[in-house]
Amino acid sequence: MKWYKKWLLIIVAIFVMIPLFIGIIQHNKKLPSHISFEGPTYKTDELEFLYDLTYQKNEERVLEQQLLGTALEIINEAENFLVVDMFLYNDDYDRDKGEYPNSAQKITNALVEKRKDNPTMSITVLTDAVNTLYGSTNNPYFETLEDNNINVLITNVKPLRDSNPIYSSIWRPYLQWWQPSQEGFLPNAFNPDGRKGSIGSYLDLINFKANHRKIILNESRAMLTSANLTHDGSSYHSNIGFVVQGDILKDIYLSEQAVANMTGYTLPDVTFKSSNETNGELEIQLVTEGKIKKALLGALAEADEQSTIKIGVFYISDRQIVKGIKEAAKRGANVQMILDPNKDAFGIEKNGIPNRQVAAELVPNKNIEVRFYDTNGEQFHSKFVIVTDEDETTLIGGSANFTRRNLADYNLESNLVINMPKTHVLTKEINDYFDRMWNNDDGQFTVEFEKYEDQTLWKKAFYRLQEFTGLSTF
């Protein structure tokens, strides 16, 4: 072999080995401080369960919405500081498919009014690069906030592990240097009428990781929710939320400080209003990122023949979670699941992956029943598990879908773990909420599994490939 062919092979080998080496490191690297956080448990009675529900009754759409109004209250009542961390913060959607309320504008107006009322208050908005099409467009809401001296932090997710290592291991050494441009020519993936995307922005998008949290926090109260309250196109989705007070606020602020630190910003020291609560029947704990999966698997592992498990979720695909559900049912636990049919995304029809494939896998198992939410353009966007045994109920809910990307330290997520007596009023509230949907009490909420049953072999294989490799949008 001639010398130049040997050198060519060496160069090719180096170009191949660099992504392989980087991929291994980035897939397994140490996480930033206070990411994948598991806080202490606090006893309290200061917790409120909220929800948004969209359903059909007498052939008309009915909206029961509690979350946005409460979020605006938390903003309006703030005296010392505000932190808003929302994954989607825009009004991008295909308006030819329908019109939605101006939720993003309402939150923006409330923040601006709060700044005018208190010019020196610390107000910080954390969000994801998806809202600027990864640097290809300006976001008018962010410009308004910044014009009013409100900090807007586009989260730097590079310090997180790579959920799509096959691609990201190539992107990090070779492609990330292709910077986004606001002179792009590629179609806008989120709004056909929006500004065009650039090559650099789409190269970034394919990393498939995000700040997916949904939190609003002031010195006395915080909301953790599954709802993208600052996204117009999400306004009709069904979601859940929790409002908490007391010492857990410090943990929430600490977890948000960790996200700000990743972006090169330090949230200021703040003072929280002291709570009169020193004890209570509820035990609450903040868990983020991979610690959410730990909590979910722990709750499922404790379920037996005396347990009921009620699950409502927008996406379920994580193999360990699926296995945990099967094993709980095998031990005798009664499992009821309400899943989004994965057919609607802001006017775009989806193919049902992964929920229909997971449902088809679970339904043949004894003690497992699945119903699909009867969506009509909107999504069943909640994410929760309720496990009840002889004496106690555990509720886990928040921003995290039950997928590998949401639960394996790739996305930024934030959930609550709530333990309560089986006889507690909150236990009745959440069970009434679930049972109403399951039984279609006073409205059309859910349909039988068979309506969206899909046994297509290639879709099952495609779901498993996407979940295993990270080459997916769920």
Same domain for 211 and 313, yes or no, is no
- What are residue 121's phi and psi, to 5 degrees? -65, 145
Q: Which three-class secondary structure state does DSSP give residue 383? A: strand
Task: Please report the pLDDT score of residue 190 as a whole number.
Answer: 78
Residue 34 has pLDDT above 60, yes or no: yes
Residue 391 has pLDDT above 80, yes or no: yes
DSSP category for residue 280: -
Range name among 65-74, 341-350, 412-421 with the lowest pLDDT average: 341-350
Query: d(Cα 313, Cα 215) in Å, to the nearest integer?
Result: 18
Whether residue 34 lies inside any domain: the answer is no
Q: Which three-class secondary structure state does DSSP give residue 172? A: helix
Same domain for 250 and 297, yes or no, is no
Range name among 55-59, 93-97, 243-247, 448-452 with the lowest pLDDT average: 93-97
Range of the domain at 241: 42-262
Residue that wins the pLDDT comparison between 195 and 381: 381
Task: Please report the pLDDT score of residue 258 as a whole number.
Answer: 97
26 falls in which pLDDT band (50, 70, 90)? confident
Whether residue 409 lies inside any domain: the answer is yes
Same domain for 257 and 287, yes or no, is no
Residue that wins the pLDDT comparison between 44 and 191: 44
Same domain for 67 and 182, yes or no, is yes
The tokens for 247 are 């010492």
Residue 1 has pLDDT above 60, yes or no: no
Report whether 340 contacts 313 (CB < 8 A). Answer: yes
Say how many C-beta atoms besides its own lie within 10 A of residue 459's C-beta: 17
For range 422-440, the mean pLDDT? 97
Q: Which residue has the tokens 């704990």?
A: 285
Whether residue 331 lies inside any domain: the answer is yes
Same domain for 253 and 129, yes or no, is yes
Same domain for 251 and 102, yes or no, is yes
Same domain for 225 and 313, yes or no, is no
Same domain for 305 and 381, yes or no, is yes
Report the CATH number that the domain containing residue 374 is assigned in CATH: 3.30.870.10
Closest alpha carbon to 237 in 381, 339, 344? 381
Report whether 69 contacts 103 (CB < 8 A). Answer: no
Same domain for 252 and 112, yes or no, is yes
Whether residue 270 lies inside any domain: the answer is no
Same domain for 446 and 303, yes or no, is yes
Task: Please report the pLDDT score of residue 183 as a whole number.
Answer: 84
Whether residue 2 lies inside any domain: the answer is no
Task: Please report the pLDDT score of residue 351 as a whole number.
Answer: 83
278 falls in which pLDDT band (50, 70, 90)? low
Query: d(Cα 450, Cα 413) in Å, to the nearest integer?
Result: 32
pLDDT averaged over every residue in the chain: 93
- Work out how many domains the chain is built from and give that number: 2
- Half-sphere exposure (Cβ direction) of 362: Cα atoms closer than 13 Å: 32
